[in-house]
Copies of this chain bind each other. A is one copy, B any other.
């Protein structure tokens, strides 16, 4: 008799939870040991640096990063405190504001990418052939119902220092 979640599905669920938390932990540790702030800071800086003029509305950032509103608000606080971003008022909508990445922010993002990319290679790239990485992505995407687009860099002359998204 078939059980509702098959043992196969249940096993996959457990792996997904365990492996992700383990791998994320390893990467975060490497970053921290190199003296860098948490990954969330990198993600935010990357989004900002990619924005047309280096600035975004908090609500945009929130949608890009898929984190709750209050979380965005406080993350911006910390970035601003550290001089990595600055707030600008929004003339056309006085409720809102713009958050603009600073030069220091851009620089930190670049420096983090070298440690970050090394960690990705160490904990993911080196464990999987490119073909397997593609298979894994495909299987994961099937779970990520309505998970958003997730465009990669425009595939231009990316050669080094190419940040992920």
Interface residues of A (CB under 8 A from B): 1, 3-24, 66, 117-118, 120-121, 123-125, 127-128, 130-137, 139-145, 147-148, 150, 152, 158-160, 162, 164-165
Contact = CB atoms under 8 A, between A and B. Distances in A.
B8 A144 contact: no
A11 B137 contact: yes
Contacts of A13: 23, 120, 124, 164
A141 B136 CA distance: 11
A117 B9 CA distance: 10
Given A9-B120, A12-B140, A19-B140, 7 more contacts: A9-B125, A9-B130, A13-B164, A16-B20, A19-B144, A22-B147, A132-B139
Nearest to A116: B5
Nearest to A123: B143
